[in-house]
Amino acid sequence: MPDLADILIYIVTKGLAQTLLMTVLGLLIGFVLGIILALMRVYAGKELNWLASGYEKIFRGIPILVLIYIFAFGVPELFWYVDPLQRPLASIIFALGLRSGAYQSQIFRGAILSVNPGQIEAARALGMSGLQTFRHVVLPQALRLAMPSWSNEYSVVIKDSSFAYAVGIVELTRAAYNFSYAFRGFWTVSIGVLAILYFLLTYPITKLFGEHQTKKLKKLGMGGG
Amino acid sequence: MWKSYEDLQVLKGVSFELAEKEVKVIFGPSGSGKSTLLRCINMLNPPDKGEIFLHGKNITASGVNLNEIRTRIGMVFQHFNLFAHLKAIDNVSIGLRRVKGFSKEEAREKALEALERVKMAEWADHYPAQLSGGQQQRVGIARALSMEPDIILFDEPTSALDPELIGEVLQVMLDIAKAGTTMVVVTHEMGFAKAVATEMIFLSEGAVIERGTPKHFFMKPESERVRKFLKQLEVLYGTHEQMIDLLEEEEK
């Protein structure tokens, strides 16, 4: 009879690496995309702004599972350069990343806009160019301001990576499922262990970058008071 | 200089000259265009019409490198506008490092000198939020000073401060004025104006109503508008007798 430790070890060894890989890459793609989209929304002209805002609306309006199906079965040609065995993984990373980009764009846009305009004026008055002002005054503060919402986005992506089970990737959720399938009668326990595992993966991060960072920002008087 | 925001004409042909080491005090009721005037001078908010010359060079002409021009025109803000994520020392050195291209050590050394001048050197490692308003404003002044500009513009530097903090900022401003800094100061601190202004300009509704030395303004101002305004300032900062006078006037 398996005990709790067996269940935990099984789930972690079979699934943790995949879950973290999808989460990290998804967040990374979303970060690059989110920054670009946010810049378009804040600084670019009407057309680019419209484009970015349209992108956000579309990707926020489609369920993640549907996105995964689209990338996995709808447009598999998108991943012609990827080893066929790895294509499902690529498609879910893509889906998580593209959707996270839409949310991260909103996070960064809000953060950029909440940098005090007086400081931007002060930077320009010192003789900084627009780019220097962004690089040395706006961006460092925007990244700090974005952290609490960003940690929330991390917890969304890591949890949504569980949808990867739908295209046959063995990650935490699939591992727990497989385990309970092999040991009938352990369904509740193994899914319970899985739930606690997700909680342990998200709570410390949101605590650290969410609550802790919010307090720190308040101390620095950042974000328009 | 002329400047409008949509329908609102903020500056209607304001013109003056500023010689080296001069301290010009600009005052007048709110909405008279004082802050706009300063923002025109360093081209943060270029005038619609009119020209600005800095050492004979027309900075309103097209093709002028405004970033370079702005390194020569310092600015001190009403709300300090310190960079919240940087310590006092880095607030001062960032311009030297990023704009003037000083090395880290050089910039730090010069920034410390500037902080020394405003008596803030011992607070160098504090973040703006850890400083009082008066201290923040002194750092703001050090930030402008450190760039060694030709002129420093002050936009109501004490009007956001609690009364007990105004003195320390005015003292620093007096010190640098006496050291020969060329300054344009928008302020209602008439004590400061009396002490160091070479000329005072009264601005109302975007136009110069009256100009002259402090002596002229406090002895025999010409226009009724100026007299009334000065009296109101005295009521705010002055004695009760004057407040009573004004109340009696209103009753008549």
Q: Is residue B220 part of a domain?
A: no
User: What value does the mean pLDDT take over residues A131-141?
Assistant: 96
pLDDT at A222: 84
Q: Distance between CA A51 and CA A220 in Å, rounded?
A: 35
Q: Is residue B196 part of a domain?
A: yes
Q: Distance between CA A176 and CA A164 in Å, rounded?
A: 13
For B200, the enclosing helix (H) or strand (E) is strand B199-204
What chain B residue is nearest to A118 in terms of C-alpha separation? B81
Point out the domain boundary residue: B148, B163, B184.
B148
- Chain B residues whose beta carbon lies within 8 Å of the beta carbon of residue A213: none
The pLDDT tens digits of the residues spanning A176-193 come to 999 988 888 888 999 999
Pairs across A and B, CB distance < 8 A: 70
Kindly state whether residues B102 and B165 are assigned to the same domain.
no
Look up residue A18 and give its amino acid: Q
The pLDDT tens digits of the residues spanning A45-71 come to 999 999 999 999 999 999 999 999 999
Q: Is residue B109 part of a domain?
A: yes
Contact A141 B85 (CB under 8 A): yes
Number of structural domains, chain B? 2
What chain A residue is nearest to B78 in terms of C-alpha separation? A118
- Chain A residues whose beta carbon lies within 8 Å of the beta carbon of residue B99: 126-128, 132
Is A116 strand, coil or helix?
Answer: coil
Give me A21's structure tokens. Answer: 């890989």
Say whether residue A116 is in contact with chain B using an 8 A CB cutoff.
yes
What chain A residue is nearest to B100 in terms of C-alpha separation? A127
Contact B44 A118 (CB under 8 A): no
Kindly state whether residues B29 and B133 are assigned to the same domain.
no
Q: Distance between CA A73 and CA A130 in Å, rounded?
A: 44
Q: Is residue B158 part of a domain?
A: yes
pLDDT at A225: 43
Q: Distance between CA B61 and CA B48 in Å, rounded?
A: 12
Point out the domain boundary residue: B148, B179, B196.
B148
The pLDDT tens digits of the residues spanning B17-60 come to 999 999 999 999 988 889 999 999 999 999 998 899 999 899 99
Q: Distance between CA A120 and CA A138 in Å, rounded?
A: 7
Kindly state whether residues B67 and B182 are assigned to the same domain.
yes
pLDDT at B10: 86
Contact A128 B74 (CB under 8 A): no
What's the complex ipTM? Answer: 0.89
Q: Is A78 exposed, middle or buried (0-12, 13-18, 19+ CB in 10 A)?
A: middle
Say whether residue A215 is in contact with chain B using an 8 A CB cutoff.
no
Kindly state whether residues B206 and B95 are assigned to the same domain.
no
Kindly state whether residues B201 and B87 are assigned to the same domain.
no
Q: Is residue B229 part of a domain?
A: no
What chain A residue is nearest to B153 in terms of C-alpha separation? A125
pLDDT at B251: 56
Closest CA to B238 of B196, B190, B199, B204: B190
- Chain B residues whose beta carbon lies within 8 Å of the beta carbon of residue A122: 75, 77, 81-83, 140, 143
Q: Is residue B165 part of a domain?
A: yes
- Chain A residues whose beta carbon lies within 8 Å of the beta carbon of residue B42: 125
The sign of the torsion formed by the CA atoms of A86, A89, A95, A101 equals negative
CATH number of the domain that B197 lies in? Answer: 3.40.50.300
User: What value does the mean pLDDT take over residues B72-96?
Assistant: 97
Mean pLDDT of chain B: 90
Kindly state whether residues B87 and B46 are assigned to the same domain.
no
Give me B81's structure tokens. Answer: 């506008």
Instruction: Supply the range of the domain harboring residue B142.
Output: 83-148
Identify whether the C-beta of residue B65 lies closer than 8 Å to the C-beta of residue B241.
no
Q: Distance between CA B155 and CA B186 in Å, rounded?
A: 5
Kindly state whether residues B101 and B124 are assigned to the same domain.
yes
Q: Is residue B46 part of a domain?
A: yes
Point out the domain boundary residue: B174, B194, B210.
B210
Domains, chain A, in order of start with CATH, read 4-220 (1.10.3720.10)
Contact A222 B44 (CB under 8 A): no
The position carrying tokens 């109503």 is B209
Identify whether the C-beta of residue B28 lies closer than 8 Å to the C-beta of residue B188.
no
Give me A10's structure tokens. Answer: 């099984």
Kindly state whether residues B2 and B60 are assigned to the same domain.
yes
